[in-house]
A = this chain, B = another copy of it.
Amino acid sequence: MNRKAVVLLSGGLDSATTLAIARNQSYQCHALSFNYGQRHSIELKAAKRIAMSLGAHQHKVLEVDLTQIGGSALTDARIAVPETGVTGIPVTYVPARNTIFLAFALAYAETINAFDIFIGVNAVDYSGYPDCRPEYIESFVHTANLATRSGVEGGVYRIHTPLIQLTKAEIIKKGMELGVDYALTVSCYQPDDEGRGCGVCDSCRFRLKGFELAGSADPAQYQ
């Protein structure tokens, strides 16, 4: 039987590519998404389509309401999404989001007896979020192995970050090789009700630039 993996799947370009990579490595993929009160919750519909099209074994959507915490443009409607590049970590940073998501991924992995977790973090063409950096991921995995029954009993959790050192253009090329249909993905932080991107938020700008440098047209729709 193929090894199980938990794959964090937002519905965006990076996590779709990550799922394709995990599948290509023959993992039985348990995709995990979060309905966390994100203003772009339409990405969850995209996640569902992507999980199906890329052959995930299962797709689970957890209800984890981060609007109870707030503190980010993505989880507090009163904070606007920036539409031009900003210096430093932007207000779209969600406090401790990846730590919360990875903690749930770890709990889920332990419950289904998986030891591999895939996450599409990237530390090249990104918004400077601290919890996307390699040193953060390395520290989390160390914590994970101390945190769990399975870790104590000799299992070893691994967190796979296949995109972490790739440019956006490299990610797109890799995904196209693996048959990812990027028309299914939603990257925008503030898409309209049809999932069409704004074209101006950080996430849209990194995406559009990536397709341009990859020499491809972005099949996503824009407003």
Question: A-side interface residues toward B, CB under 8 Å?
Answer: 60, 62-66, 68-71, 89, 93-100, 102-104, 106-108, 110-111, 130-131, 133, 135-136, 139-140, 142-144, 146-149, 151-152
Which single residue of chain B is at the shortest CB-CB distance from A131?
Answer: B147
Count of this chain's copies in the oligomeric assembly: 2
Contact in complex: B89, A149 (CB < 8 Å): yes
Contacts of A102 in B (CB 8 A): 103
Q: Pick from B60, B96, B135: contact of A103, CB below 8 A.
A: B96
Q: Are A99 and B95 in contact (CB under 8 A)?
A: no
Distance of A210 from chain B, by nearest CB (Å)? 25
A63 CB to nearest B CB, Å: 6
Contact A69 B139 (CB under 8 A): no
Chain B CB count within 10 A is highest, among A68, A102, A103, for: A103
Contacts of A142 in B (CB 8 A): 139, 142-143
